[in-house]
Chain A
Amino acid sequence: MSSSVEAITVLSSDGDEFKITVSAAKLSKPLNWMLEDVCFSDDCDEVPTIEVNSKTLVKVIEYCEKHAPRANSGASDSDAEELKKWDIEFMKMDVKDILFHILMAANYLHMEGLYDLACQTAADLMKGMTVSQIRKIFHIKNDFSSEEQEQLRRQHPGCSFD
């Protein structure tokens, strides 16, 4: 790839075009490999497609652009602290609507930091939920009979199932 390229264009699964800087794209292993393999000069027609919908890709790129300077050069403790606060704000999102899509995108794009952050956010949300609330957000049908459920409760006297 030409060293003069600072940003590349990618397509979302919905067919929308997005710009992402090279340093931000390096946060994802598959994107990084693609940068090495694909020609990005202006006379090149090919635009890589990322199998992530536009709404999710906007957020993923936002995360990458924010984290790229620190990932590439290291940062002071105060920057790390600031980034942590930014992450918390960034993760304030609807679970069904976007968080699960972010999780799948981070997994697919091998983005360790974002994956970890999204998993932790999902876990923190689940901590205070009842079993039926958990089923609802994960779109899971209860396949236990009421006897089986009662048995599970009896099996784990130390834990609340509500």
Chain B
Amino acid sequence: MSNHLPLEIVEEILHRLPVKSIVKCTSVCKAWNSLITHQTFIYDHLNRTIQAPNHNSSLFFQFMEFIPSPCLRLENAYSLSSSVNQQTDQLSVELFPLSHLFDPDRYTLFVSTCNGLVCSADYSPLKSATIIIWNPLLRKYIVLPKPITTRRKRGRQDLCCYVDRNYDFFFGFGFDSRNNDYKVVRVMNDRCTKDAPHVQVYSLASHIWRSISVTVPQFFLIDRSWLPSVFLNGALHWLVWRDVGINYKFILSFDVIQETFREFTLPQPQSNETHPSSRLLPVEGGHSLAVVNRSGRAFCIWVMKDYGITNSWTEIFRLDTELYGDICRVLSLTSSGKVFLKLAGGAVVLVDPTKESKEPVGIAKWAFVSLSSFVQSLFFLNKKPHVLSF
């Protein structure tokens, strides 16, 4: 028997390596290099990673306050591998300095992760948005072409959505599993007219934007300066509201394959306030959507147990704001039933609500932080003209 392993076995072994080790293996020999950098390997790797249980890790995004507040600017990302060993949450941290990717006079409008890539958009009052998609592990990114936009003339002085009270303006970042393609959705809603919102879709494979003609339920944004999308079950989700005599809050969802919108009702009763204390979260590694409601002294966490069935909303637990110290935000729900919380004072802790246990996450104090579930991906491994390194 020869000592040389057939490439099909090498491929199996490579699929079990972390992304950085796989990249290292591209320099072993030419045969391995072409195996790894082939699209088939990259897609296979992604599909295996998504399906493998307990391989989720988290990505923390650290923001700095941007003047004029309350705008924020994305500064750094930290990856935190959790539940790598199934039993224990391994809290190893890696830092990705990012601030140099962004213009210093811009604030961050949007940051979302999907299948190992991150999409972020920044905005300045004078310039149109810069949107980038990046792979933190490979330190590669692409700058998206500028979407072509049309606006009413009288809105021209206020091109920034934050200062422009007439527009609701937001993004979503998702994966089209039918075409193995990442898509960015950009929705612009004119509050002053009854016109349908203008929806554009960018596809990573084609690297272009196109406008789509689609029926969108009437809605307004709850938090106009900051609205990350939640991607699960092939669809993007945002928390929005509309005026039906009362302020009716609901979930707006966009099917990334079909490119259609639908809406879901929230667990009842909902408070009528449109302040941003309610949040949508994915249940990490699963296919369930969760919503966090602030109710008096408690954060109530509801999960839509059967996706799309709105009477399956179930309150899974309540967290007293003072139980773990002063909770100011529920950041993320892990697949093992634990919860990342941000406490007043800046500490981030991982708690187990069933045991009331609490462990600190070993990162410096945070002023502004968001957390997304994250998988390792080899996208952007190939050398292409528009893929840049950081």
The reply to whether chain A is a binding partner of chain B is yes
> A interface vs B, CB < 8 Å?
13, 53, 96, 100-101, 103-104, 107, 115, 119-120, 122-123, 126-127, 131, 134-135, 138-144, 149, 152-153, 155-161
Expressed in whole angstroms, the Cα–Cα distance for A115 and B12 within the complex equals 9
Q: Of B1, B381, B389, which is within 8 A of A104 by CB?
A: B1
Q: Given that A119-B9, A158-B139 are known contacts, is A139 also in contact with B30, CB under 8 Å in the complex?
A: no
B29 near A104 (CB under 8 angstroms)?
A: no
Q: Given that A53-B1, A138-B5, A156-B138 are known contacts, is A143 also in contact with B30, CB under 8 Å in the complex?
A: yes
Expressed in whole angstroms, the Cα–Cα distance for A131 and B29 within the complex equals 10
- Quick one: CB contact mask for B14-39 with A, threshold 8 Å, 1 for yes? 11111011011111111011000000
Q: Given that A100-B3, A120-B16 are known contacts, is A157 also in contact with B30, CB under 8 Å in the complex?
A: no
Q: Given that A53-B1, A131-B28, A144-B30 are known contacts, is A159 also in contact with B9, CB under 8 Å in the complex?
A: no
Expressed in whole angstroms, the Cα–Cα distance for A120 and B27 within the complex equals 21
Question: Which chain A residue has the least Cβ–Cβ distance from B10?
Answer: A138
Q: Which residues of A contact B13 (CB under 8 A)?
A: 103, 119, 122-123, 126
Is B287 interfacial (CB 8 A cutoff)? no
> B interface vs A, CB < 8 Å?
1, 3-6, 8-10, 12-18, 20-21, 23-30, 32-33, 137-140, 381, 383, 389-390
Identify whether the interface residues of A are mostly helix, strand, loop, or mixed.
helix
CB distance from B378 to the nearest CB of A (A): 11
Q: Given that A107-B9, A119-B16, A122-B13 are known contacts, is A156 also in contact with B23, CB under 8 Å in the complex?
A: yes
Question: Which chain A residue has the least Cβ–Cβ distance from B8?
Answer: A107
Q: Which residues of A contact B383 (CB under 8 A)?
A: 155
Expressed in whole angstroms, the Cα–Cα distance for A104 and B2 within the complex equals 10
Question: Which chain B residue has the least Cβ–Cβ distance from A138?
Answer: B5
Q: Which residues of B contact A134 (CB under 8 A)?
A: 24-25, 28
A159 near B138 (CB under 8 angstroms)?
A: yes
A-B CB proximity, top 6 nearest: A158-B139, A123-B16, A159-B23, A122-B13, A119-B12, A152-B27
Which of A123, A152, A153 has its CB near the most chain B CB atoms (within 10 A)? Answer: A123
